[in-house]
Amino acid sequence: MKKKNLELSEESKIVHGTTRNFVTSGDLVPPIHMTSTFKFKDMAHGAGIFDGSCEGFVYSRIANPTTDILEEKVALLEGGEAASAVSSGLAAIAAVCFSLCKPGDNIIACNAIYGGTFALLNKHLADFDIQCRFVSPQEAYDRKKIDSLIDTRTRLMFVETPANPTLDIVDISLWADISKKADIPLVVDNTFATPYLQKPLQLGADIIVHSMTKYLNGHGDIIGGIIVGKKNMIDRIRENYIIHFGPSMSPFNAWLISRGIKTLAIRMEKHCDNAMAIATWLSSHPKVTFVYYPGLKTHTGHSIAKKQMKKYGGMIAFRVKGGIAAGKRIMDSVELCTLAVSLGDCETLIQHPASMTHSTYTKKEREAAGITDGLIRLSVGLESGDDIIADLGNALSLVRA
């Protein structure tokens, strides 16, 4: 983005977004265009908007000025030509799948992903005769294995990195290289990293999806999603799916997310610094058996994370001695950490993937993805890192090792 004489840095773009403003009253913050429909000046104008010969808004399921501002901002931060905001992260993923795939087609995906996404890819798309071929986190580094799954009906490749809940790291450049050679779009779920930490389009991905419910909004008060990519791809997804299946975003939610994004840089810095300190502390705790955090040198994806991310994010998973029983005791004993799903909020959230976010997997499917029953997931918040450590320390002290 360019102001007249300035090339803006990432932090400034995060605050300012685009220069577009749909009001003339000089508001610093654009108002919420809380309207379902828009007045036409006359018949020629209305018909002209419909046939594309005039600029203008028609109806908020199709487009809305407040939502447009958010879409331009996220496209700018991701380095994409265009974006389309929708009602949830899963709506974004469904929109991509349904607009690119027809019955008989298939998708290749990594099996360590959010449980809701797994249910969509593994089960619900199969009802439409769209099959998903999964690779394990280890196989995700194996070019030959991935190549062997591609055929003439493969319509997209899907990865989430860092992955929910195991923080597995997918090598985006490797997947992009494979997908380019096969001429299949690569879709990256960039929810955990955000564009502040990772830019998949620069690494060769074609489409980015986000659950904006998480870090982009950052305040735990709305559900939202977005798709970013080349303009012709976003137009195709809008026309093939969003406009007529209708998962549109409320202008009020779009306005809240635009407000939330302004603090993304400083929030992500604090999430990352807190998470690094907590992961380091957990890894030397005698009652903790394993810590999953890409910032730790012991993490299998550390070197790739170092290459493709600015810092390592705010999500941690860990296992404790005494397995699931001990884990449950910890989750029932914490006082500052809140027992809740979701992530990326100001508050630290703790939860149990096997019985909560990833209960959509069978036990066998979870094991294949490395999601063990004893795994505890922590979304590190913006409180004092010392307070979070003290809270976890107290809870761990109640567990018999």
Residues serving a catalytic function are 61, 114, 189, 214
Nearest distance, CB of residue 359 and ligand LCS, angstroms:
11
Q: Least distance in Å: CB of 96 to ligand LCS?
A: 12
- What CA–CA distance (Å, rounded) separates 219 from 170? 27
What is the total count of residues that contact ligand LCS (CB under 6 A)? 19
Place of tokens 């001695």: 321
Tell the smallest beta-carbon distance from residue 154 to ligand LCS (Å).
Answer: 21
Residues ≥6 apart with Cβ < 8 Å to 151: 106
Q: By C-beta, is 280 or 360 nearer to ligand LCS?
A: 360
Within 10 angstroms of residue 17's Cβ, the number of other Cβ atoms is 22
Q: Which is nearer to ligand LCS, 136 or 342 (CB)?
A: 342
Nearer to ligand LCS, 274 or 357 (CB): 357
Comparing every residue's Cβ against ligand LCS, the nearest one is 89
Query: Which amino acid is it at 262?
Result: K
State yes or no: residue 255 binds ligand LCS (CB under 6 A): no
Of 49 and 257, the one with the shorter C-beta distance to ligand LCS is 257
Rounded to the nearest 10°, the torsion over CA 212, 215, 217, 219 is: 130
Q: Is 160 in the site for ligand LCS (CB under 6 A)?
A: yes
**Comparing C-alpha atoms, which of 291, 194, 256, 243 is closest to residue 50?**
243
Exactly one of 198, 213, 274, 348 binds ligand LCS (CB under 6 A); that residue is 213
Diameter of the chain measured on Cα atoms: 76
**Among the candidate windows 28-36, 103-111, 338-346, 364-372, which touches ligand LCS by CB under 6 A?**
338-346
Q: Which helix (H) or strand (E) holds 318?
A: strand 315-320
Q: Tokens 């290749």 — which residue?
A: 108
Q: Which is nearer to ligand LCS, 96 or 304 (CB)?
A: 96
DSSP string, 86-141: ESSHHHHHHHHHHHH--TT-EEEEES-S-HHHHHIIIIITGGGT-EEEEE-TTGGG
Give yes or no for residue 190 binding ligand LCS (CB under 6 A).
Answer: no
Q: How far is the CB of 163 from ligand LCS (least distance, A)?
A: 8
In the complex, the smallest distance separating the C-beta of residue 346 from ligand LCS, rounded to whole angstroms, is 16
Residues 339-398 binding ligand LCS (CB under 6 A) are: 341-343, 357
Q: State in angstroms the smallest separation of the CB of 212 from ligand LCS.
A: 7
Q: Which residue of 99, 211, 217, 253 would you call a contact of ligand LCS, by CB under 6 A?
A: 211
Question: Binding residue for ligand LCS (CB under 6 A) from 68, 105, 168, 189?
Answer: 189
Are the C-beta atoms of residues 89 and 211 closer than 8 Å to each other? yes
Return the residue of 1, 32, 62, 223 that touches ligand LCS, per CB under 6 A: 223
Q: Does 191 bind ligand LCS (CB under 6 A)?
A: yes
Contact (CB, 8 A) for 169 and 294: yes
CB burial of residue 149 (10 Å; 0-12, 13-18, 19+): middle
Element (H, E) at 292: strand 288-292
Measured from the CB atom, the residue of 211 and 248 that comes closer to ligand LCS is: 211
* Contact region with ligand LCS (CB under 6 A), list: 12-20, 185-193, 288-296, 322-330: 185-193
Contacts of 232 (CB under 8 A, 6+ apart): none
Percentage helix, strand, coil, to 5, in the chain?
A: 40, 15, 45
Give yes or no for residue 116 binding ligand LCS (CB under 6 A): yes
State yes or no: residue 198 binds ligand LCS (CB under 6 A).
no
Contact flags string 76-115 toward ligand LCS, x per CB under 6 A: ------------xxx-----------------------x-
Using a CB cutoff of 8 Å and minimum separation of 24, what contacts does 295-303 make?
299/167, 299/169, 300/137, 300/168, 300/169, 301/162, 301/167, 301/168, 301/169, 301/170, 302/169
**Nearest residue (CB) to ligand LCS, 89 versus 327:** 89
Shortest CB 109 distance to ligand LCS, Å: 12
Q: Collapsing DSSP states into helix, strand and coil, what is residue 209?
A: strand
- The owner of tokens 């860092």 is 162
Q: How far is the CB of 397 from ligand LCS (least distance, A)?
A: 28
- Which stretches of the chain bind ligand LCS, using CB under 6 A? 88-90, 114, 116-117, 160, 164, 189, 191-192, 211, 213, 223, 225, 341-343, 357
